């Protein structure tokens, strides 16, 4: 089975154990590439979205400030979830539930953004 580089416009075939091709992996290491909050593919860190998502018709992703802010917030929430997840296993159950809820909300908002 072929695996493709996760970067949004890269179609490099790579080994199934890798996420990015050699070139793009280097950019990930240097922090120049992170994840697009909408499609979850790799994109350049300096842009809020990958060019693909950014250039979609207005009804899918418009330039509305609120939407952009939501996307940025979503990305921040994702970072927080990722950061605390490893230590959440020792949290009391109610706190874990809250984290779960946050994650569900983030996924829901992401779904709504994808649906436009």
Closer residue to Zn ion, CB minimum distance, 11 or 89: 11
Asked if residue 33 lies in contact with residue 7, where contact means CB atoms within 8 angstroms, the answer is yes
| Residue of 41, 39, 106 lying closest to 76 (CA atoms) | 106
Report the nearest approach of Zn ion to the CB of residue 45 (Å): 13
For residue 99, report the phi and psi dihedrals to the nearest 5 degrees: -65, -40
Considering only 3, 12, 19, 70, the residue that binds Zn ion (CB under 5 A) is 12
Stretch of residues binding Zn ion (CB under 5 A), selected from 5-13, 26-34, 88-96, 99-107: 5-13
List binders of Zn ion among 30-69 (CB under 5 A). Answer: 36, 38-39, 50, 53
Residues 6+ apart with CB under 8 A from 39: 8, 50, 52, 53, 114
14 binds Zn ion (CB under 5 A): no
CA distances from 107 to 57, 75, 86, 111 (A): 22, 11, 19, 6
Size of the site for Zn ion (CB under 5 A): 11
Closer residue to Zn ion, CB minimum distance, 7 or 74: 7
Could you list the residues that contact Zn ion (CB under 5 A)?
Answer: 5, 7, 10, 12, 21, 24, 36, 38-39, 50, 53
């Amino acid at each position: 089975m072929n695996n493709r580089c996760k970067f949004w416009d890269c179609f490099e075939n790579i080994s199934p154990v890798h996420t990015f091709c050699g070139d793009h992996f280097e950019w990930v290491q240097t922090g120049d590439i992170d994840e697009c909050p909408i499609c979850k593919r790799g994109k350049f860190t300096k842009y809020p979205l990958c060019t693909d998502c950014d250039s979609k018709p207005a009804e899918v992703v418009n330039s509305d400030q609120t939407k952009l802010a939501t996307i940025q917030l979503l990305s921040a929430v994702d970072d927080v979830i990722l950061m605390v997840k490893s230590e959440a296993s020792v949290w009391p159950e109610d706190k874990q539930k809250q984290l779960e809820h946050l994650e569900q909300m983030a996924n829901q908002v992401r779904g709504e953004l994808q649906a436009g």
